[in-house]
Structure 1
Amino acid sequence: MKPLICLSATAALLLAACGPSASTQAPAKSSGGGGGRQEVWAAGSSTVFPFATRVAENVARTGGGRPAKVESLGTGGGFKLFCGGPGSAYPDIADASRPIKKSEFDKCVANGVTDIVEIKIGYDGIVIANAKGGPAYDFKLEQIYRGLAAQLPAGTGFAKNGAKTWNQVDPALPADPILVYGPPPTSGTRDAFLELALEKGARKLPAMEALHAAKEEEFKAKSHTLRSEGVWIDAGENDNAIVQTLEKTPHSLGVFGYSFLDNNMDKVKAAKVEGVSPTFATISSGAYPLSRSLYIYVKKANIGVTPGLREFVAAFVSDGATGKGGYLQDRGLIPLPAADHAAQKDVAKTLPIIAAPKS
């Protein structure tokens, strides 16, 4: 029996809207668990989605029982649903391609979700890619910022970014138009791209580094605001759709997780960033500048209440799944070093509750 895998983020959100709403209910006093639901429910990152679905398939095949339900809503969308409250109307697990934010953690606590466990499952790289037949790119972080930021420093202030082609950003780059398909604001991939690419690129400019030192919030607002006007196009949470778009529009670029590159090498190729290509070795070592960690967040109160949740979590951190040479490596997951992997297996057993993040 195949697991129930919800591919439509829109449909999932509509279903959630029909259920209990955290905005219209009084917050629960304590985190209650997922009783009343007979299967594990995980929701969140589109990058973690293929890994979670593979684990769900394996657990259902080897252990029997009801298959897990896995939804691709984006990291932000997953946390929103996860933090909606305790009980069976909300997910047991949030899949995430970035750490939980303080604002999300506070929302969880306000709604009675007070027992969150963070488990790191591996690494991923954020890829900037184009069609196989397109030009080769080797981006510097500053060039990514100059090409995609809505406003750039000009004199004592800022001016609208008017660059139309990449060679207008830097003559060393191809003359193709600046057209990038990427994830929407709810995506952890987008959050990480803004932090790792645009923020770091912005700080290469003296004016932006000075702004960062003097007014960090204003710096973030300026460096995190992407261009619209047909330059950056939100392409939804389905990274496979971005790959298909790149095939149809060979002069465009796409931003998505390494696992989707790894599974589509026959269709697209990755740009270098600071002279480094995204590969298994460069991501695991941190040499590739756009590397990041991947997580699952678990409601401890649901362990022993939602049937199969303990087994699902144990399977996710098993040597056979996220260990070196595990079956998720074939799907593009970059495994943790052996000592770190062992530590995360211990977290899955002891289930320590995390404290509020600083930001």
Structure 2
Amino acid sequence: MKRLFVTLAAAGLALAGCGQGATGGGDAAGGRNQIRVVGSSTVYPFTQAVAERFGQSGAGFAAPIVESTGTGGGINLFCAGVGPQHPDIANASRRIKASEIELCNRNGVQQIIEVPVGIDGLALIESNGQPTGFQLTARDVYAALAANPFGRPQTARTWRDVNPALPDVAIRVYGPPPTSGTRDSFAELILEKGCDTDDAMKALKESDSDRHKAVCTQIREDGAYIEAGENDNLLVQRVSENPGTVGILGYSFLDANRERVRGIPLAGVAPTSETIQNFTYPGARKLYIYVKGEHLQAIPGLREFLNAYSQAWNPGGYLVQRGMIPLPDAERQAALQAVQNPQPITAAALQ
């Protein structure tokens, strides 16, 4: 197929003859020969590992550039348009939202390929130097961190204020910023579940979903919750050096730092590879990459990189050794099909 060229104008990218589809040709991102990936800090180490091996494989392709921007920030960059100045892949520690697909579509990104790559746990951690470990529930965590728990003013200063069975230790939780997919998962998997242990909150969900979302997911801003940015290694360091504090991050970082931190059980279930894979741990979640179909033919090595990723996530693969939990067999086969026969996802499919 005749190579199509794009030119950069002062006002942006002029795209001519693009949008042939996820499996068709086109040079929508012509002028760049290196894959660019943005997004989740949780998925970052996995994609970076694949990128490093891909660059060393001898296949003649440059190692992809992988940036940790947070899921929300990465998807915004991914959805900003088609062409060499826009990323090819977005890492995500949650599923893309219908509103984000609509944003992509408005900016000309019509071919969004969803590839689940594995399972991770949203882990709560504490320092190994903490003599008595926390035993928490979703309700405890919600009551400690909500701006207005159960619709009432937040007054808790210690964990004992939340639950008399908990230690008299100041509430200090290091967690992800609003741009992070881990923050979104924390709201969905932990905060909302804790909030909905109250019958009045369940009723509110039916009568006023927007109000319910605000009451159940808005986090207090008085210093008890400390945004730790997108650097999960720094979060581990802060928690390990400050016994009595709690951290929120992906399981793989807990698994890689067990000499410094340990997982906090939720409702009696500790975060382990087994409890995450079978989803008995409340914080279990899928991890994704989203691929721009318009770039599949335009960026050298993009298809080959996806194939390399699909080999790395298998049981016994090197991503498992780095802490990724493999998908069940049927779901892993479906993910492989998404790589081999990419089909765009639509906002309607998420409803």
TM-score, scaled to structure 2: 0.91
Q: Which residue of 1 aligns with 2:91?
A: 95
Superposed counterparts of 1:216-255, under 5 Å: 216-255=209-248
How far the C-alpha of 1:163 sits from its partner, in A, is 0.3
Q: Does 1:205 align with 2:205?
A: no
* Partner AA of 2:319 in structure 1: L
Superposed counterparts of 1:304-315, under 5 Å: 304-315=297-308
Q: Does 1:289 align with 2:282?
A: yes
Q: Contact 2:37–2:88 (CA<8 Å) still a contact in 1?
A: yes
Q: Which runs of 5+ in 1 are unaligned?
A: 1-18
Corresponding residue to 1:121 among 114, 117, 124: 117
* Partner AA of 1:38 in structure 2: N
Superposed counterparts of 1:343-358, under 5 Å: 343-357=334-348, 358=350
How far the C-alpha of 1:191 sits from its partner, in A, is 0.2
Deviations 1:170-217 (A, max 9, x none): 011121111100010000000000000000110001121111121111
Q: Contact 1:28–1:111 (CA<8 Å) still a contact in 2?
A: no
Q: Contact 1:27–1:112 (CA<8 Å) still a contact in 2?
A: no
Q: Which residue of 2 aligns with 1:326?
A: 317
Deviations 1:29-86 (A, max 9, x none): 9646321111111100000000000000111111232110000000001101000100
* Partner AA of 2:321 in structure 1: D
Q: Which residue of 2 aligns with 1:3?
A: none
Using the alignment, how far apart are the partners of 2:13 and 2:299 within structure 1?
23
Superposed counterparts of 1:31-50, under 5 Å: 31=19, 33-50=28-45
Using the alignment, how far apart are the partners of 2:111 and 2:152 within structure 1?
46
Q: Does 1:147 align with 2:138?
A: no
Q: Which residue of 1 aligns with 2:66?
A: 70
How far the C-alpha of 1:98 sits from its partner, in A, is 0.6
Q: Contact 2:114–2:290 (CA<8 Å) still a contact in 1?
A: yes
Corresponding residue to 2:188 among 192, 195, 219: 195
Deviations 1:142-161 (A, max 9, x none): 111111100023xxxx3321
How far the C-alpha of 1:25 sits from its partner, in A, is 5.8
* Partner AA of 1:145 in structure 2: Y
* Partner AA of 1:166 in structure 2: W
Using the alignment, how far apart are the partners of 1:252 and 1:271 within structure 2?
11
Q: Which residue of 2 aligns with 1:279?
A: 272
- Runs of 4+ aligned residues of structure 1 deviating over 3 Å after TM superposition are 24-32
Corresponding residue to 2:56 among 50, 58, 61: 61
How far the C-alpha of 1:133 sits from its partner, in A, is 1.4
Corresponding residue to 1:107 among 103, 109, 119: 103
RMSD: 1.8
Q: Does 1:260 align with 2:253?
A: yes
Q: Secondary structure at the residue paired with 1:85?
A: coil
Using the alignment, how far apart are the partners of 2:283 and 2:9 within structure 1?
38
* Partner AA of 2:143 in structure 1: R
How far the C-alpha of 1:295 sits from its partner, in A, is 0.3
Q: Which residue of 1 aligns with 2:330?
A: 339
Q: Which residue of 1 aligns with 2:22?
A: none
Using the alignment, how far apart are the partners of 1:308 and 1:227 within structure 2?
45
Q: Secondary structure at the residue paired with 2:330?
A: helix
Q: Contact 1:20–1:89 (CA<8 Å) still a contact in 2?
A: no
How far the C-alpha of 1:276 sits from its partner, in A, is 0.3
* Partner AA of 1:141 in structure 2: A
How far the C-alpha of 1:26 sits from its partner, in A, is 9.1
Q: Secondary structure at the residue paired with 2:152?
A: strand
Q: Contact 2:127–2:261 (CA<8 Å) still a contact in 1?
A: yes
Q: Which runs of 5+ in 2 are unaligned?
A: 1-7, 20-26
Using the alignment, how far apart are the partners of 2:12 and 2:97 within structure 1?
23
Q: Contact 2:123–2:263 (CA<8 Å) still a contact in 1?
A: yes
Using the alignment, how far apart are the partners of 2:28 and 2:313 within structure 1?
26
* Partner AA of 1:112 in structure 2: G
Q: Contact 2:15–2:83 (CA<8 Å) still a contact in 1?
A: no
Q: Does 1:177 align with 2:174?
A: no
After superposition, the Cα gap between the structure-2 partners of 1:286 and 1:27, relative to the gap in structure 1 and judged at 3 Å, is farther
How far the C-alpha of 1:119 sits from its partner, in A, is 0.3
How far the C-alpha of 1:27 sits from its partner, in A, is 9.7
After superposition, the Cα gap between the structure-2 partners of 1:210 and 1:260, relative to the gap in structure 1 and judged at 3 Å, is same
Using the alignment, how far apart are the partners of 2:219 and 2:15 within structure 1?
38
